[in-house]
Structure 1
Amino acid sequence: MFIDPKFKIALKCKECGKFKVFDIDLFKEKLGSFHCDCKNNILNYGIKGANIILEADCVFCNKKHRLKFKVRDIIEKPLKIINCPFTDFEIIFAGKNNSVDDIISKYESDMIELLKLLGFDIQVNLRRF
């Protein structure tokens, strides 16, 4: 059985509000730090044994969360959703390329529809990096 060591991780920047998507290769990178285009450091990660440890800024509670989960949760499932421990809102999406892209697109389109229902007249030009 072939196990793909590559996956995507996505989260929203608490400074500029945009979703940022990062590619991670479990065989190449044991430690990493990712920044948004606005220069905010939004994600640090490390791989220790069979675990991935994430430190991420939360857009909902405005705290930095340190989260730990099994590598197998990423490589065996198409999508892992990680919630804020205080608000229980979904803050990080990790998994296979298409699964992460699909859920980010759904969240963005749901937000547009909500804003329209609330009466906002918006011109939408969402762009992920």
Structure 2
Amino acid sequence: MQISDFLFPKEKVAYIISSATMQEALEKLEQSQYTAIPVIDGEGKYIGTLSEGDLFWKMKNTPGLSFQNLDIIKVHEIKRRIHNECVSINAHLEDMLHLAADQNFVPVVDDNQVFIGIIRRKDIIEYYTNNITD
């Protein structure tokens, strides 16, 4: 069993580019119905995870910011309170499982730190539920 066996590829993942606006991030979260999504930079490298809470706190702590002007804030300007660590596609399975214990999803990167997808904790639990026998 390898990390790649659990990979949910980038093409199917809701993610946001760091140069996108706060408005775009809010819409992406709403469309995907997720509470957090990976953030990648212009080169495709994983740089963090943006959550609904991050957007909420940015609105609360930015005077004059409202739903009407969310396009003035870029994603890279938003402080992220949760740090989801990523794992290399070539890492040991145990490394990924350790991260998945504390994260709903584990971002996966290639050898150049380019984001290639995620591993969902849900998929790990389903796999082991279906394959563990007494």
Q: Which has the larger radius of gyration?
A: 2
After TM superposition, the score normalised by the length of structure 1 is: 0.30
After TM superposition, the score normalised by the length of structure 2 is: 0.29
Higher helix share: 2
Higher strand share: 1
